[in-house]
Structures are given as C-alpha cells and as structure tokens.
C-alpha cells in the first residue's frame, strides 16, 4: 500500500475529522483563490477594457482619463495628432447628460457620447466609435443614435425606432428643446456604468445641444501604427498642454492610486487565509498523529522506515489540502461572482469592469500556496513521527 | 492449516531445526549489553551486562517481575532500542553502527514483532494488515496476495480475511498480528506479552500457534508473565534488576 493509499485509509477512518479538514480548506481555499483573482482582477480587466477598442493612446487634460477636465480645442488637437507619422487615427469623445422622454412617467437619465474621427489614413478613417454594435449599425448621420441594451429594453426600441432626448451639454440647469433621433443600432459601451448610455456622431451631439458644445472634449483616443510609447511621446511633444498616456501607462497610474487598495486588501487576506489553513491542518494532523502513536511505533518496529511514516503524514496533509483545494475552485468562482456583483454596485464603476478575473497565473499561485500549506502544515506532525521513540512509545501504550 | 512457510517458517524454505544447538546459525549475539535511561532523578539502568546468543530455531521465554528490563531487552534484540554499552550483533552486523534506515530494513526483513495490544491498523482488513509489511518490502502484488492467503490459512483465519480488527475477537486479532509478523519470513520473532490481553483458553491457542511457528525454524523470543506460555520454551531466562538471573534449558 502506497503512502497515499495509506493516508486515504487513515482519512476515511475518521470521516468527521477528514470532512472538517477538507471543508475548512475548501472554504479557506475559496477565499484565497478570490483574493488572488482580486489582486490583479481590476488591472487585468481595466487593461482589457482599454485595449478592447483598439485605441492604444489616450489624450486627456487631467492625469487620468475621466478626471472631469476637458481637452480644449479638441477637434484641432485631434486633427494635428492625426498628422503625426506614427498615428493611424484619432477619435474625439465629448459626452453630455441627456434625459430620454417617456410616453408617461419620469424621463430616464442617460449619458450621450458624441464622437468624431480624424485621420489622414484611409484605413484609420474607417475606425469609428469605441462601442460595439450588437444589432443594427453605427450612427453616421447627425439625426442617428445608437442606444445600449438597457434603453432598448426599457423603451422597447430596436433599430428603426425614434428616441426623444433633452440634452444638458454645459450645465444641469440648461433647458434645451427636445430632439428626436433615429435609433440605428443597439451597442455595448465598454466604460458604461450603471447609468444608461447612448452614442452618436459629434455632429449629432452638437445638434442635440443646440450647438452649445464649445470646442473642448473629454478625451481623444488615438490608434498608433504599432508604437504606442513613441506615439504618446510625440503627442506630448506636439501638445505640452495635454496628457498623453498609453494604455499600459493608464493602468500603471491606476495601480498606483485606487487599485492599490484592493491589492493591499487581497495581500492581507491572502496571508490570513493561508495562515488559517496551515493552523487548521496542523491541528487536525497533530491530533490524529497523537491518537495513533502506538500504531505508528508498531509500524516502525515492524520495519517501516522513518521516511515512510513521514510520507504517510505528508500524504494525509496533501490529500486534505488537495481535495479541499479542488473544491475551493468552484466555490471560489461562485463566491467571486457574488462579490463582483456587490462591488460593481458601487457608483461610477463600468459595467464591463470586473474586480475578480480568472487568470492561469492566479490558479498557479493558488496551487503553489496550497502545496506550501500542505507541506508547512505537515511539518510539526512529521517531526513528531520522525522523532518518535519506538520502544518508549510501545512501552507507554501498554502501560497506558 | 499450512505448515510453516517460506515467508515465515514454512514459506522461507527453512526446515524445522532440531539437534545440536552449536550447529545452528547465530542470529543475535549480545555481549555485555547495558541500557541506561537518563532520568531527571538520575540514570536508570534497565538492562545490565546481558550476554545472550539466539540461534535459528531457538525458543526462548523471558520472565521476571515488572520493571526488571524484559521489554527493554526484547526491544534491543529487535533493534528498536540500541544498547548504551556492550555489543549486539545481528547476523554478524553491529546493530549500533547501523543507520536508522538500515535498522528499519533489518527489522522489516529479518525480525517480526507481536505486541500485547496487537496494534493492528483499524482501518485495514485482516488481509491488508498482513499485506502491509510485504508491500513495504516491495514484494509484487501477486506474490503478496498468495502469501497473505497462505499466512491467513496458517493462522486459521482465511475466512476472516476481509474483516476489520473491530470485527475480530482478541485471539483472532493476535493471530492476524502473528501472520503480519511472519509476513516477510523473519528469522527472529519477538513477542511481548502476546497473551497478556487474552483469556486462558485463547492464550493457549496463541501459544500453540507460536510453538508451530518456532517448529518451522523461526527463532522465537517471548517476554511473558504467563507461566504456562514460558514453560513451552526450550530456554527460560529469568531476569531481575536488569540482569539475567538464571537460565533453564529444557
């Protein structure tokens, strides 16, 4: 009988103890897995969101896109950027708040993104909005609009329908007349928060705003011809008044600010969960070994080597941690899905952003930590059996 | 029941040993062995200046009052305890010079132990308990299965092979323990109070079984308080205060 087989029988011998250990490891392992997914989840998810549209440099007025500051003379700036040799296209994004009229009841508040592409390259000029069309087509004329799935469901609108909006382009106190726009598509907006979102051309936005938009924009997205770093540097040289950052730099800045909090939390909780798992298994194994000292001494007397009895204990630890670890994966994914939903309920979080992201590397670290847990937890009980005085134990067992 | 076997008496191919003791090979040669245990109140000498030879086929009983050093001597003969002074040779090898791993291997292949409390593994069946030392010795599965079958028949428990220790009586458990001790065909079988937990009738059955093992050629050393069991031995050693006080050869 191999050490693993022997360990399995020892576990089955005490099902309550085994179940306690396995369930404990499953619970702790699930939390550990979640913490590992959380530690890089936001970063990976944000990087994915930024990369998704194919825009690899972001030009904004503030340190981070979405800071509220606007790029002045945005169209001229985008025009100039598009002439840089490393740039394929530049896209100006200007957003406004809108209220969508209902037949009856309170209007729905939504965000309205107007975009305009600037490119000297025929391939680049085909690049359009940062949203993904799910049904229909993209808005091209100034009386066309695309809507998100939520608005489509809420207003029972599909391509071909008409939407009546009232835009607030400069301040909330504006009272602009209603504008009717033709719905030509239903789209998914990558940075959409819980607020509903619509998108159209910059001309459509200007029309909705009664021309009261000004020359500034929230963001200019740039697609380079391959050298994002060089393009960002060229933009900074060309326009010292704006901030140009590659997607990696944006993620890097986010890591230094808001995302650090989650990484610190996950690091602390990872340490706590691993320590708890080690203590749990150590206690269970130590109690188990102490209950079987006579049997172990007898096996040693019968010729079982010290290495063999140590392997038995290690195998038992590996089995508890292994089975618990396997259970922890589906449990962790389930827990992560619930926690992700809760955390995404915070205001301003893009719907497509995830706090918990599965990565092979996270799974690898999870497995490595569980292996380390199994070994470290078994150290003390292994020490007990390896140093067990055979004769004295046999004597004590008889006297006891 | 089978006769003694190659694993144990009969399976090893050894034949019952009779006749001149000097012609039989020496398994254990202990000379002036002492065992001193350091204690908080001062060292305690459990075994002092014991000189003893065990030859193949010997049947030795060790008697004496509690605490006289019987079990410690047995443990030294079985290489689970090393002497503080003196020399103990097993098959010509100085046991004190062997590493722990080598001593384990020696016990696995050459020595069988039978304990007062059986120490069968409760989660394993009788068959699996007997198979365990063979598995540790690296025997092939088919060989193991054949030997387990022979050994359980030998101790009269073939029908209880798939029973766990909790489903066996004390006598049956001790018979499984004897089969387990014989698993790798030891040259020396050591039994520490093998009838200590059993009633008189069951103890007599175990004694008969041990006699049969010895008749198959395996040297047998029994530590016992049981006079009837001791009287079956060819050599009866009486210990007192760590010394062999007397030796009676039958």
DSSP string, A271-323: HHHHHHHHHHHHHHHHHHHHHTHHHHHHHHHTT--HHHHHHHHHHHHHHHHHH
Q: Does A398 touch chain B (CB under 8 A)?
A: yes
Cβ–Cβ gap A395/B128 under 8 Å: no
Q: Does B49 touch chain A (CB under 8 A)?
A: no
Cβ–Cβ gap A390/B136 under 8 Å: no
Residues B107, A301: contact at Cβ < 8 Å?
yes
Say if residue A91 is in the same domain as residue A163. yes
Say if residue A264 is in the same domain as residue A237. no
Number of domains composing chain A? 2
Q: What is the pLDDT of residue A400?
A: 53
With respect to residue A246, please indicate whether it lies within any of the assigned structural domains: no
Mind listing the pLDDT tens digit of every residue in chain B (250 residues)? 344 334 444 444 444 445 556 667 889 999 999 999 988 888 999 999 999 999 999 999 999 998 899 999 999 999 999 999 999 999 999 999 999 999 999 999 999 999 988 899 999 999 999 999 999 999 999 999 999 999 999 998 999 999 999 999 999 999 999 999 999 999 999 999 998 888 888 888 899 999 999 998 899 999 998 888 999 999 999 999 999 999 888 7
- Give the residue from A206, A241, A276 where a domain finishes: A241
Residues of B in contact with A394 (CB under 8 A): 71, 75, 80, 115, 192
| A391–chain B nearest CA distance, Å | 6
Q: What is the pLDDT of residue B141?
A: 92
With respect to residue A253, please indicate whether it lies within any of the assigned structural domains: no
Q: Does A386 touch chain B (CB under 8 A)?
A: no
Cβ–Cβ gap A307/B131 under 8 Å: no
Q: Is the ipTM of this complex over 0.85?
A: yes
Whole-model pTM: value is: 0.77
With respect to residue A96, please indicate whether it lies within any of the assigned structural domains: yes
- Dist. CA B120–CA A140, nearest whole Å: 84
- Give the residue from A212, A241, A270 where a domain finishes: A241
- Residues spanned by the domain of A106: 72-241
Say if residue A99 is in the same domain as residue A234. yes
Residues of B in contact with A305 (CB under 8 A): 100-101, 104-105
Say if residue A270 is in the same domain as residue A209. no
- Dist. CA B73–CA B82, nearest whole Å: 10
Q: Which residues of chain A have pLDDT under 50?
A: none
Pull the structure tokens for residue B64.
Answer: 């004496």
With respect to residue A358, please indicate whether it lies within any of the assigned structural domains: yes
What count of other Cβ atoms lies within 10 Å of the Cβ of residue A109? 12
| A45–chain B nearest CA distance, Å | 50
- Dist. CA A330–CA A303, nearest whole Å: 42
- Give the residue from A197, A213, A241 where a domain finishes: A241
Which contacts qualify for B85-88: CB closer than 8 Å, 24 or more apart? B85/B32, B85/B33, B85/B34, B85/B36, B86/B30, B86/B31, B86/B32, B86/B33, B86/B34, B86/B49, B86/B50, B87/B29, B87/B30, B87/B31, B87/B32, B87/B33, B88/B28, B88/B29, B88/B30, B88/B31, B88/B33
Say if residue A235 is in the same domain as residue A307. no
Cβ–Cβ gap A305/B112 under 8 Å: no
For A149-191, how does the pLDDT look when each residue is reduced to its tens digit (9 = 90+)?
889 988 888 899 898 888 887 765 566 678 889 999 999 887 7
Q: What is the pLDDT of residue A46?
A: 86
Q: Does A307 touch chain B (CB under 8 A)?
A: yes
Q: Does A294 touch chain B (CB under 8 A)?
A: yes
With respect to residue A59, please indicate whether it lies within any of the assigned structural domains: no
| B100–chain A nearest CA distance, Å | 8
Say if residue A233 is in the same domain as residue A86. yes
Cβ–Cβ gap B113/A301 under 8 Å: yes
User: Which H or E run contains B50?
Assistant: strand B44-55
- Dist. CA B64–CA B242, nearest whole Å: 10
Pull the structure tokens for residue A10.
Answer: 């020892």
Domains with residue ranges and CATH for chain B: 21-121+185-249 (3.40.50.300)
Say if residue A86 is in the same domain as residue A164. yes
Say if residue A275 is in the same domain as residue A156. no
Burial of B241 (0-12, 13-18, 19+ CB in 10 A): middle
Nearest residue of chain A to residue B73 (CA atoms)? A391
Q: Does B115 touch chain A (CB under 8 A)?
A: yes
With respect to residue A126, please indicate whether it lies within any of the assigned structural domains: yes
Q: What is the pLDDT of residue B104?
A: 94
3-state secondary structure of B181: helix
Report the DSSP pairing between strands B188-192 and B219-223.
parallel
With respect to residue A155, please indicate whether it lies within any of the assigned structural domains: yes
Residue whose tokens read 């998100």:
A148
Q: What is the pLDDT of residue B20?
A: 58
Q: What is the pLDDT of residue A188?
A: 87
Residues A393, A297: contact at Cβ < 8 Å?
yes
Cβ–Cβ gap A391/B71 under 8 Å: yes
Residues of A in contact with B101 (CB under 8 A): 305-307
Residues of A in contact with B137 (CB under 8 A): 303
Say if residue A268 is in the same domain as residue A187. no
Torsion angle in degrees (nearest 10) through CA of A194, A195, A199, A204:
-170
Say if residue A131 is in the same domain as residue A176. yes
Q: Does A83 touch chain B (CB under 8 A)?
A: no
Say if residue A102 is in the same domain as residue A237. yes
Residues A154, A108: contact at Cβ < 8 Å?
yes
Say if residue A85 is in the same domain as residue A232. yes
| B150–chain A nearest CA distance, Å | 19
Nearest Cβ partner for B80 among A10, A308, A390: A390
With respect to residue A198, please indicate whether it lies within any of the assigned structural domains: yes
Q: Does B133 touch chain A (CB under 8 A)?
A: yes
Q: What is the pLDDT of residue A203?
A: 87
Smallest Cα–Cα separation from A144: which of A81, A196, A188, A204?
Answer: A204
Residues of B in contact with A18 (CB under 8 A): none
Q: What is the pLDDT of residue A208?
A: 85
């Amino acid at each position: 009988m191999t050490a693993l087989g022997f360990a399995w029988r020892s576990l089955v011998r005490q099902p309550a103890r085994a179940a306690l250990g396995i369930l404990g490891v499953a619970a702790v392992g699930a939390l550990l897995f979640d913490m590992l997914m959380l530690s890089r989840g936001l970063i990976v998810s944000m990087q994915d969101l930024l990369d998704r549209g194919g825009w690899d440099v972001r030009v904004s007025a503030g340190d981070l896109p979405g800071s509220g500051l606007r790029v002045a003379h945005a169209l001229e700036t985008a025009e100039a950027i598009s002439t840089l040799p490393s740039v394929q296209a530049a896209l100006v994004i200007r957003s406004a708040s809108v209220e969508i009229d209902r037949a009856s009841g309170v209007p729905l508040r939504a965000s309205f993104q107007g975009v305009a592409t600037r490119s000297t390259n025929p391939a680049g000029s085909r690049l359009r909005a940062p949203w993904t069309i799910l049904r229909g087509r993209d808005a091209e004329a100034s009386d066309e609009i695309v809507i998100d799935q939520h608005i489509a469901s809420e207003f029972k609108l599909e391509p071909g329908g008409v939407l009546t909006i009232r835009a607030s382009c400069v301040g909330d106190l504006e009272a602009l007349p209603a504008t009717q726009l033709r719905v030509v598509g239903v789209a998914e907006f990558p940075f959409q928060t819980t607020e509903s979102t619509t998108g159209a051309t910059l001309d459509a936005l200007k029309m909705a705003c009664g021309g009261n938009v000004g020359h500034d924009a929230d963001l200019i997205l740039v697609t380079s011809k391959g050298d994002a770093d060089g393009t960002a540097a060229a933009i900074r040289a060309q326009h010292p008044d704006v901030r140009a950052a590659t997607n990696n730099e944006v993620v890097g800045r986010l890591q230094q600010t808001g995302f650090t909090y989650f990484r610190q939390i996950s690091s602390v909780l990872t340490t706590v969960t691993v320590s708890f798992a080690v203590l749990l298994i150590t206690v269970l194994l130590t109690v188990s070994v102490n209950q079987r000292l006579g049997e172990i001494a007898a096996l040693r007397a019968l010729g079982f080597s010290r290495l063999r009895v140590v392997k038995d204990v290690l195998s038992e630890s590996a089995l508890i941690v292994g089975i618990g670890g396997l259970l922890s994966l589906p449990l962790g994914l389930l827990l992560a899905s619930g926690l992700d939903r809760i955390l995404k309920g915070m205001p301003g979080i893009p719907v497509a952003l995830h706090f918990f992201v599965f990565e092979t590397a996270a799974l690898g670290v999870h497995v490595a930590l569980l292996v380390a847990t199994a070994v470290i937890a078994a150290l003390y009980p292994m020490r007990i059996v390896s140093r067990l005085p055979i004769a004295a134990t046999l004597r004590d067992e008889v006297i006891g | 029941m089978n006769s003694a076997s190659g694993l144990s008496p009969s399976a090893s191919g050894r034949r019952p040993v009779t006749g001149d003791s000097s012609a039989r090979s020496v398994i254990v040669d202990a000379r002036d062995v002492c065992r001193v245990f350091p204690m908080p109140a001062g060292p305690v000498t459990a075994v002092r200046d014991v000189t003893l030879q065990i030859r193949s086929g010997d049947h030795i009983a060790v008697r004496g009052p509690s605490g006289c050093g019987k079990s410690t001597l047995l443990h030294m003969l079985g290489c689970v305890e090393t002497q503080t002074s003196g020399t103990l040779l097993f098959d010509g090898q100085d046991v004190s010079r062997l590493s722990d791993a080598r001593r384990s291997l020696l016990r696995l292949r050459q020595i069988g132990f039978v304990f007062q409390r059986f120490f069968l593994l409760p989660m394993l069946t009788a068959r699996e308990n007997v198979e365990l030392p063979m598995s540790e010795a690296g025997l092939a599965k088919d060989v193991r299965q054949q030997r387990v079958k022979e050994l359980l028949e030998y101790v009269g428990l073939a029908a209880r092979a798939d029973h766990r220790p909790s489903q066996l009586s004390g006598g049956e458990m001790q018979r499984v323990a004897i089969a387990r001790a014989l698993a790798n065909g030891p040259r020396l079988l050591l039994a520490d109070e093998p009838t200590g937990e059993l009633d008189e009738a069951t103890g007599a059955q175990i004694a008969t079984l041990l006699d049969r093992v010895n008749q198959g050629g395996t040297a047998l050393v029994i530590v016992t308080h049981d006079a009837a069991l001791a009287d079956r031995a060819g050599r009866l050693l009486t210990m007192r205060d760590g010394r062999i006080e007397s030796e009676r050869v039958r």
